[in-house]
Amino acid sequence: MQQSAVPELAHTHTSPLQWVATATAIAGVVALSTVLQPDPARAAQPAGGAARAAAPAAAPDPSGVDFPITCGPAKALVTKKASGDLDGDGRPETVAVVRCDAGSGTPPNGVYVLTQGEDAGKPRVVATLIEPKDRLTVTDFAVRDAAVTATVLGYSSLDVPSCCPDVTEQAKWQWRNGAFVRSTPAGARSV
């Protein structure tokens, strides 16, 4: 009788519990990686008497801003935010997607542009891209190349229940001639 070179090992057979543990561990690593990001890369600066570039202005922080949204006893909740220089002045603006923290249901979103005052005081709302009264919900959202883009869910009529938006639109806002102008990105389709 000949013996195999590698005996059968108990740990080479997996059980469903091991798969669940592995999937949970991977999900935890992915979730943690979205929170912990490395510092942005910085180019090497010349030493000595060379002139140093001014530090870039910080984007406005939406926490503590009084948004023009009426929530009754609930608080306004910033659900998404992104920053970038939207008007070309060299200072970043922050765009915040805000809704009432109602606890249940699908409260509509407001989308607001914030700027930091010259005196570095409290950020202020300088533009409203979407009004909460329009009953819209923002899903995908980004600030890139001096533009705000979003996927907006809405309703074809007042008879459609708030739980179930039945219209999907792609929207894009850009600063032109002193105002934000809304357009539909190329290739966007409504459902």
pLDDT tens-digit series, residues 142-161: 999 999 999 999 999 989 88
Task: For the chain, give the mean pLDDT.
Answer: 79
For residue 121, the model assigns a pLDDT of 76
pLDDT value at 4 more than 70: no
Domain extents for the chain?
Answer: 76-183
pTM confidence score: 0.67
* Pick from 30-44, 63-77, 122-136, 140-154: least confident: 30-44
Identify which has the larger pLDDT, 66 or 22: 66
Q: For residues 180-189, give the mean pLDDT.
A: 76
The answer to whether 148 touches 173, Cβ cutoff 8 Å, is yes
For residue 116, the model assigns a pLDDT of 85
